[in-house]
Structure formats: C-alpha cells, structure tokens
Amino acid sequence: MKPQSIALKVLNIISVLLFIIALGMVFVYAPLEVTMNYVQKIFYFHIANAWVGMLGFLAAAVSGVIYLVKHDQKWDNIELAAVEISLVFFFIAIVTDSIWARPTWGAYWTLEPRLTLLPSSR
C-alpha cells in the first residue's frame, strides 16, 4: 500500500470517530434551548455546513484568480472541486434550515422579505 492511501484511511477513520463524538455531544451534552427545545440543535450542523460552503466558494474565487494569472490547469481543477464541494455543503445547509423552519415558523420555506433578507429578525 502507498503511504498516501494509508494516511487517507487513517484520516477517514478519525473523521468518522469525531463525527460520532460530535453527534453524541449535540444530542446528549448540549443543553436544550428554552423556546425551541430540540429543534435548535440542528444549528450545530447547519452553521458549520454554511461556513464550509462559504469557505469553499472563497477558495474557488482565489483559485480562479490564480488560474487567470498563471494559466495553469491545476488551479482550474481546484476551483471546480471547491465549487462542487461547496454546493453539497450549501444543499445540506438549506435542508437543515428547512428542518428547523418547519416547527419554528410553521413552513419549510417562506419568502417573506423580513425573514429571508434580514438574518437578525430570525
């Protein structure tokens, strides 16, 4: 086996273990919020997915600028991978937001401008 494939397997195992620990801490250790109870616990995943999605698009933008300057195909490939990963994480963020919104607002999605445009009004 190549050293890279061994390292990748070790990182995969560590990632799965840390994810299981995080799930346990969310559902067992974290206290309940007074008005939303269990529903607010979705934010532990929603916020992290949204951040990873945003950082992925930032990485894609930086890679795109470097590609335009250097004309090296490697940077275009990195940009494409970053966009693909960001889309997956933003999809998860939208789904978890809908899961939270249903019991909180009574609808999975609402286009009311006050709720859609102003995050502080949530």
pLDDT per residue over 55-83, tens digit each?
Answer: 999 999 999 999 999 999 999 999 999 99
100, pLDDT greater than 90: no
**CA of 109: how far to CAs of 67, 87, 104, in Å?**
38, 19, 11
Distance between CA atoms of residues 84 and 96, nearest Å: 19
| Model pTM score | 0.72
Query: Which residues, including other chains, have CB under 8 Å from residue 49's CB and lie 6 or more apart?
Result: 89, 90, 92, 93, 96
Distance between CA atoms of residues 40 and 4, nearest Å: 39
- Domain extent listing, the chain: 1-30, 34-108
Distance between CA atoms of residues 32 and 41, nearest Å: 8
21-38 pLDDT tens trace: 988 888 888 888 887 787
Mean pLDDT value across the chain: 86
- The H or E element containing residue 14 is helix 3-24
pLDDT of the residue at 61:
97
Query: Which residues, including other chains, have CB under 8 Å from residue 93's CB and lie 6 or more apart?
Result: 46, 49, 50, 53
